[in-house]
Structure 1
């Protein structure tokens, strides 16, 4: 019996290798399509005024895009207030609150935006004048400000539009990328009011005003507090990266304020490289030497991420019977309670730092009581942001930065449209002193010729286990509030 002749069989039987290559190519095509669709979807998700850069959305938003979930509530409030402003038909201008937006610092960013919104809300209801109304947009420089130029270019573009950006507030801390952003904005004539920027100098920036005490002010306050505590010997621990301007300026200022007159500052064997790995090993060796020295107080001139590692290593020190006090600058406000940090602070380690402001200052220093009341009624009493904290200063300083920009915008003897240009606002920032100083929630803000806040109160604070913060002292650079 004959059988029907079998054909050559399926292609994948006869050419297994070629079949495999075809399958791989097909999968690559499909995957590429999915990846491409994903990128387009992310681009669409960013919304108007924003651009996708990897997993981030950078640029400007009117509040319609929350950069992450913790910002959703405050973003919605800003968007609603902006809509209300635009629908009034009245004259308005725009302030951009711009800064890096890293999700690891979402709590501090949320509090900053909440403070900025509180200033906008107050201003649009008759505080610091009535006109123009204020529209507030949120700018994201990127997680580490790596995409600052996208946002800065959009700010410059919008400054040329009707009702456009006339000032930038925020900026955040002193980093190389933030410095580049400030230089770009300055070159294009955009005035800026920084909230928590403390570095003493930003070369090449001529349109910057500040509401925070400088690193020199903070280092001087720390040195005076240590002298009051009868501390005669301090070990300096510092980041040796010269590009780390925050650390460098703290180190220089503390040396000048503390050393001499019977006070010894030890710098030998105190350096570290914050950008390199094995930081814990470096600090462990440094602490071993401290255990065998007669120095029990450390001034830490470095960022909070390195500070966290240092304090954790102190908690694991070999000389548990010896206590240490670590004193540092305002970057410590970014520390959040965790098991290692709490264990160290409960084990004969004190962490004292100079902050930018603190609610305790309202009872211990000369402040403008109506200004404080306005802020607390707006920010606290309305229960808008139940998860926000005032102890780290981010909400208060952001509020005061936006309020200072508004004070300059609304100082108008000339009612012409040119009085609301970025150039005019830059000019008017220089009038905010003396009788025209701004009654901020952190204290009166009186700007000198270079845009520095004069004689701002510097609180000396202590971080306790589980995130508690206690006020230890209040210092003024010249011994009194601005006048």
Structure 2
């Protein structure tokens, strides 16, 4: 028995079906287009955040829409392709704020130097060792605020085809960075910081820090200040509670400088970088700075704020008085080029700062008898190019000017720590290892198993801190050029 369907009803069914198909096609096309346009370059897991920054994780397939990084990322991409030819390869992620803005603590030059040092360690290791290492680049944004999605992606890549076994970099002692490190610690992902120095990061399980801590730098600064005859110090401190660096630096210097014959004045001068308008805050400080009887100002803040502080001092009323400033390591070569800053230096302002590493310290150390040197010659040669392959020496690849920032040296030492742990976990066969196996190896990187890093011996305490690190001190001349002062070893 057949059923006759009226033509009008058949047309209704056909039209309804066609509408469903069209809607499905349009939705699919929309989702596809949104996915494509949401990606910064249509490749890998790098997408645009609400503020337009390219964030996410890439095996160097993306440059995060940062042209300053393209050259070194192209090198990393080629090295990654070669590494993947090893069927036992593993990945190490470089976790850094790779996109920058005018308000960022990180500068383009600082990020580039960090990637250059990481790349140098990668190609040096892959030349002779196994398993080969691929670098993943992980950008949590300029303020590191997108860290949850980036850390989740890194966790996913541990069991995926990338075989992630460690994370290096991080670089900034910010509150979002601390939260990211705590989450990676919970996930048992091994971490090696590059230039993170805040003391309250000590003891995060699975985190190694090759850079001298704020406490170590403050001790070196206090030692230098006392040798120079300073007896009274005035603190200028950033109170931004989202930044761990200034508060721990101020606390450490106060503890290291004060004794029976040296004191820190009780009324420190404060500003909050999180509120903006720091130039105005510095201008309002000038009468107090001129009135104080302190023979030293210790600036516990970021380099970007120090250059503004010095610039403001060019117009102080007490121009006949030399203002001597001591500060920590958060200065980059890029920040020292501004003309207002140089005007301040020429107006009777002296700046001496501690650093986590510096090529001028190598040169001074080389002048000493071999028994007194604090840097391993082989590690230094990898940077300076003495009798080294042009394919792995830092200066050969990136030029002498690239060594003007400590980021490259410390990123190299962070990656050197990770690759050393990978090789020791793997053993002679060079077989693939897991994050857990690398984490286990972290416990033995001390004593006779310490690593000869470019910034000095890397022997890690049980709390993850490299102890007995040497600290270079440098002075800025009136043009803003750093000059080596001394290497503090006690």
1:450 and 2:463 correspond: yes
Instruction: State the partner residue of 1:63.
Output: 60
- Which structure 2 residue ranges, 5 or more long, are not aligned? 1-28, 102-106, 366-373
Q: CA deviation at 1:346?
A: 1.6
Tell me the matched-pair count. Answer: 440
Q: Please give the alpha-carbon distance, in whole angstroms, between the structure 2 residues aligned to 1:374 and 1:412.
A: 24
Counterpart of 2:415 (choices 402, 409, 414) is 402
Instruction: State the partner residue of 1:441.
Output: 454
Tell me if structure 2 keeps the 8 A contact 1:107–1:388: no
Residues 114 and 44 (structure 1 numbering): CA distance in 2 closer, same or farther, change over 3 Å? closer
Instruction: State the partner residue of 1:100.
Output: 97
1:141 and 2:140 correspond: yes
Counterpart of 2:476 (choices 454, 463, 467) is 463
Q: Secondary structure at the match of 2:172?
A: coil
Q: CA deviation at 1:242?
A: 4.1
Q: CA deviation at 1:474?
A: 0.9
1:241 and 2:250 correspond: no
- 1:149-298 correspondence runs (5 A): 149-202=148-201, 205-298=204-297
Q: CA deviation at 1:380?
A: 4.9
Residues 46 and 284 (structure 1 numbering): CA distance in 2 closer, same or farther, change over 3 Å? farther
Q: CA deviation at 1:432?
A: 1.1
Q: Please give the alpha-carbon distance, in whole angstroms, between the structure 2 residues aligned to 1:414 and 1:363.
A: 35
Q: Secondary structure at the match of 2:331?
A: helix
Q: Which moved more, 1:225-234 or 1:328-337?
A: 328-337
Residues 100 and 381 (structure 1 numbering): CA distance in 2 closer, same or farther, change over 3 Å? closer
- 1:363-378 correspondence runs (5 A): 363-365=363-365, 366-377=374-385
Tell me if structure 1 keeps the 8 A contact 2:355–2:474: yes
Spell out, residue by residue over 1:67-108, the C-alpha distance to the aligned partner (whole angstroms, 9 max, x if none).
211111100000001111113x44211000111123341111
Tell me if structure 1 keeps the 8 A contact 2:167–2:190: yes
Q: Please give the alpha-carbon distance, in whole angstroms, between the structure 2 residues aligned to 1:44 and 1:142.
A: 13
Tell me if structure 1 keeps the 8 A contact 2:211–2:356: yes
Q: Please give the alpha-carbon distance, in whole angstroms, between the structure 2 residues aligned to 1:79 and 1:283.
A: 44
Superposed CA RMSD in Å reads: 2.4
Tell me if structure 2 keeps the 8 A contact 1:215–1:249: yes
Q: Please give the alpha-carbon distance, in whole angstroms, between the structure 2 residues aligned to 1:417 and 1:367.
A: 29
Residues 407 and 290 (structure 1 numbering): CA distance in 2 closer, same or farther, change over 3 Å? same
1:390 and 2:387 correspond: no
Q: CA deviation at 1:417?
A: 9.7
Q: Please give the alpha-carbon distance, in whole angstroms, between the structure 2 residues aligned to 1:417 and 1:402.
A: 18
Q: Secondary structure at the match of 1:318?
A: coil
Spell out, residue by residue over 1:30-79, the C-alpha distance to the aligned partner (whole angstroms, 9 max, x if none).
xxx99x97984352515212122131111111112112111111000000
Counterpart of 1:110 (choices 100, 109, 112) is 112
- Which structure 1 residue ranges, 5 or more long, are not aligned? 1-32
Tell me if structure 2 keeps the 8 A contact 1:101–1:144: no
Instruction: State the partner residue of 2:23.
Output: none
Tell me if structure 2 keeps the 8 A contact 1:58–1:150: no
Residues 76 and 260 (structure 1 numbering): CA distance in 2 closer, same or farther, change over 3 Å? same
TM-score (norm. length: structure 1): 0.86
Q: Secondary structure at the match of 1:241?
A: coil
Spell out, residue by residue over 1:188-221, the C-alpha distance to the aligned partner (whole angstroms, 9 max, x if none).
0101000000011227831100110000000000
Q: Please give the alpha-carbon distance, in whole angstroms, between the structure 2 residues aligned to 1:423 and 1:380.
A: 31
Q: CA deviation at 1:413?
A: 6.9
Instruction: State the partner residue of 2:82.
Output: 84
Residues 353 and 203 (structure 1 numbering): CA distance in 2 closer, same or farther, change over 3 Å? closer
Q: Please give the alpha-carbon distance, in whole angstroms, between the structure 2 residues aligned to 1:425 and 1:269.
A: 44
Residues 415 and 441 (structure 1 numbering): CA distance in 2 closer, same or farther, change over 3 Å? closer
Q: CA deviation at 1:292?
A: 2.2
Instruction: State the partner residue of 2:37.
Output: 41
Instruction: State the partner residue of 1:74.
Output: 72
Counterpart of 1:53 (choices 41, 49, 52) is 49
Q: Please give the alpha-carbon distance, in whole angstroms, between the structure 2 residues aligned to 1:388 and 1:188.
A: 39
Instruction: State the partner residue of 1:347.
Output: 347
Tell me if structure 2 keeps the 8 A contact 1:46–1:52: no
